[in-house]
Amino acid sequence: MTARIIDGNALAARVRGEIAEQAAQLAAQGVQPCLAVILVGNDPASAVYVRNKVSACEKAGIRSLRFDYPQDVTPGEVMAKLAELNADPAVHGILVQLPLPRQFDEAAVLEAISVAKDVDGFHAENVGRLSQSQEAFLPCTPHGVMKMLESEGVKVEGAEAVVIGRSNIVGKPMAMLLTNAGATVTVCHSKTRDLAFHTRRADIVVAAIGKPRFITGDMLKPGAVVIDVGINRLTEGPDAGKLAGDVDFASASEVAGLITPVPGGVGPMTITMLLANTVISASRAAARKGAA
Ligand code: NAD
């Protein structure tokens, strides 16, 4: 079997077009959607992510505010900025780029963001709401994956889904969203005894491991839907310097029915869902303004 490829760039472009229309309508009502982004330190990958987010905002007609701090900034200074942004009615979304330097208590920083502006969906209250199937800002990467499954008409209800990875930002919320959508979900991680036993019986496999080309075709059920969240920069071999996912695309695409590539798969959907959450927050602000 040769898998059909899910084109994340095409889907992201379509959804971003809809978001741009909504942003323009809100701006016409006097509410210009606005995302504030905080970057601490000089991690090159974080700088690229922030640059991409800011540029995606601009293209969608979302205003962005960027605040850069040096590696040794005191947590108090960043917390003061968060308090200011929480109180600013012109700001609809606040994002603190992770990871933060050692002097920070990451959980405390995430909880200092107003729940109503937590467009990354990492605040403990939004996570709790998601776990109770209440309306919440959904974390962008797993939300983007759900959007991909939906756009491809993948039947999630009743499916056997295996999520590999249990991080707070991808694996755990991914498992929660699939559970809420009616899948029977198994979460595998570094302590899982026989990973292939689980992946071979899965209708849907989501890999969020951080290990290049780790999931190979022989670990998959023929016809499975394979979603590759991993983004890894290869350091050796003939492809050194290139990006690779957590799935070995060459062998997996021979077995899977549907597969996402890296790059051009989940990555573009992550930023798209950040824009979507910012516009949702702005439309709530517009509704409050209209009601006042
Ligand atoms: P993480 O390091 O926080 O978590 C990795 C998970 O993989 C852990 O839960 C660990 O238990 C599991 N794991 C490690 N080795 C394993 C093994 N041998 N078998 C089974 N499980 C194993 O990483 P993360 O933040 O969840 O990110 C995962 C990957 O997704 C990374 O490559 C990251 O760059 C990428 N990512 C991509 C996007 C995107 O927009 N596409 C967003 C976030 C993260």
Q: What local confidence, expressed as pLDDT, does residue 290 receive? A: 81
List the alpha helices (DSSP H) in the chain. Answer: 8-28, 44-60, 75-87, 106-112, 124-131, 140-151, 171-180, 195-199, 249-255, 266-291
* Ligand 1 centroid distance, CA of 208 (Å): 4
Nearest CA to ligand 1 atom 13: 190
Model confidence pLDDT, tens digit, residues 248-291: 999 999 999 999 999 999 999 999 999 999 999 999 999 988 87
> What is the DSSP code (8-state) at residue 61?
T
Mean pLDDT of the chain: 97
Report how far ligand 1's centroid is from the alpha carbon of 265 (Å): 16
Find the mean pLDDT for residues 112-129.
97
167 CA to centre of ligand 1 in angstroms: 7
pLDDT (tens digit per residue) in 67-88 = 999 999 999 999 999 999 999 9
Q: Is 16 helix (H, G, I), strand (E, B) or coil?
A: helix
Fold match, 30-115 / 140-267: yes
What are the structural domain ranges in the chain? 30-115, 140-267
Domain over 30-115 is classified CATH 3.40.50.10860:
yes
The yes-or-no verdict on residue 187 having pLDDT over 70 is yes
From the candidates 81, 117, 120, 221, give the one annotated as an active-site residue: 120
Confirm whether 97 is a catalytic residue.
Answer: yes
Ligand 1 pocket, residues with Cβ under 6 angstroms: 141, 164-167, 169-171, 188-190, 192, 195, 208-211, 229-232, 266-267, 270
Percentage of the chain with pLDDT > 90? 98
Contact 52, 79 (CB under 8 A): no
At 223-252, the pLDDT tens digits run 999 999 999 999 999 999 999 999 999 999
CA distances from residue 19 to 104, 273, 282 in whole angstroms, order as listed: 34, 10, 12
Whether the per-residue pLDDT at 26 is higher than 80: the answer is yes
Looking at CATH, the fold of the domain delimited by 140-267 is given as Rossmann fold (3.40.50)
Q: Is residue 34 scored above 80 in pLDDT? A: yes
Most distant pair of Cα atoms in the chain: their distance: 62
State the burial class of residue 272 (Cβ atoms within 10 Å of its Cβ: 0-12, 13-18, 19+): buried
pLDDT at 1: 67
